[in-house]
Homo-oligomer: A and B are copies of this chain.
Amino acid sequence: MADAVPMVEIRRGRFAESVHRGHAVICDASGAIRAAWGDPEAVILPRSSCKMLQALPLVESGAAAGLGTEQLALACASHQGADMHVTRVAHWLSEIGLGERDLRCGAQVPDDRIERGRLRETLEAPCQLHNNCSGKHAGFLTLNRHLGGDSEYVEPDHPVQRAVRAAFEEMTGADSPGFGIDGCAAPNFATTMRGLAWAMARMADPAGLGEARGAAAERLVAAMIAHPLLVAGEGRACSELMAAAGGSVAVKTGAEGVFVAIWPEKGLGLALKIEDGTTRASECAVAALLTRLGAVKAGDPRVLRRMTPPIANRRGMVVGEIAPAPGLWEDGAAL
């Protein structure tokens, strides 16, 4: 078992004062590893990075027949609870005769500054619609209406989650060794780094998935790429990196330092996990890998502000930077 490798350095003066290690795998749809750092067999919880896999049963079952691309993007989203997200999820629920009370994701203080400011001013409590996973849960509820399960759709043995697990295991190519309960109360199934990269490669190149799943994968990836702001939000890494990739790549983060990327035109999938779970490092590393892959242009400010953000002191002087570690970046040669 290979160890996690240094991926990101926090530099101050001439010192690398902190180092983040991680694992990364780039796969094609056959499961062949095109590049790897750390341990491809490391077992991780993909957290929200696998929402497009969790949304496959919704689409391939036919339950999503009436849904548009915005709703599918929201089903794959970790949104920041801005008005554009909350309003659309509320409308979606009302379309299927349900409401906020039917969600089982819990309330969350939204990351969106405007909406958070509005709640603060009005002393209104955040609700389940603000939960970054409310679109995924609206998708679960839509699937549940189709399957006819009971209201507790986040229970691991509920028909919705059984369908999610089956799709997840088929896409990752192996039985899951188990699950943790995610922040939104749904089970989050474990897999290996290679399993997650392979699943993303299959999303990128769904020819071998059969008709229903292949079409579902294509619809979901196209929806993510069409609506980067619905997948995350203003100023967020996923949205900005997707915009920088100009519609060629779907990028999705997960809690605890996870990122995936789906690149249809190359048929490649990428999975990245920072061992210590830190966002500043996962954003830097995924920006570096997308640059090396040529999926985004070197020098694009939307990429650079993730890959080499300056560190300023409280007088505004730049005193350091976050940067890819030599082992991840080397000379930035193309992969």
- The residues of A with any CB-CB pair to B shorter than 8 Å are 10, 12-15, 17-21, 43-45, 47, 104-108, 131, 178-185, 188, 190, 256-257, 274-278, 281, 313-317, 319-320
Contacts and interface: CB of A to CB of B under 8 A. Distances in A.
7 nearest interchain CB pairs?
A106-B314, A18-B277, A13-B180, A12-B180, A106-B315, A181-B319, A276-B276
Given A106-B315, A278-B276, A180 B320 contact: yes
B315 A13 contact: no
Nearest to A14: B178
Identical copies of this chain, number:
2
Given A18-B257, A19-B276, A185 B313 contact: yes
Q: Main SS of chain A's interface residues?
A: loop
Contact of A131 (B108, B131, B281, B314): B314
A259 B105 CA distance: 36
B18 A178 contact: no
Given A15-B45, A21-B21, A314 B184 contact: yes
B275 A18 contact: yes
Contacts of A18: 256-257, 274-277
A313 B10 contact: no
12 contacts: A13-B179, A17-B180, A17-B256, A18-B256, A104-B315, A105-B315, A180-B319, A181-B317, A181-B319, A182-B313, A184-B313, A276-B276
A15 B181 contact: no
Contacts of A107: 314
Contact of A183 (B179, B184, B313): B313
- Residue among A17, A21, A277, A313 having the largest count of chain B Cβ atoms under 10 Å: A17
A44 B13 CA distance: 12
Identify the interface centre among A12, A47, A256, A281: most chain B CB within 10 Å of its CB. A12
B12 A181 contact: yes
A106 B316 contact: yes
A8 to B, nearest CB: 9
B20 A276 contact: yes
A13 B179 CA distance: 7
B313 A17 contact: no
A131 B315 CA distance: 11
A140 to B, nearest CB: 15
A45 B281 contact: no
B182 A15 contact: no
A179 B313 CA distance: 14
Given A313-B185, A314-B107, A43 B19 contact: no
A47 to B, nearest CB: 8
A178 B105 CA distance: 50
Which of A104, A106, A108, A277 is the most central at the interface, judged by chain B CB atoms within 10 Å of its CB?
A: A277
Contacts of A314: 105-108, 131, 183-185
A184 B312 CA distance: 10
A314 B108 CA distance: 7
A257 B278 CA distance: 13
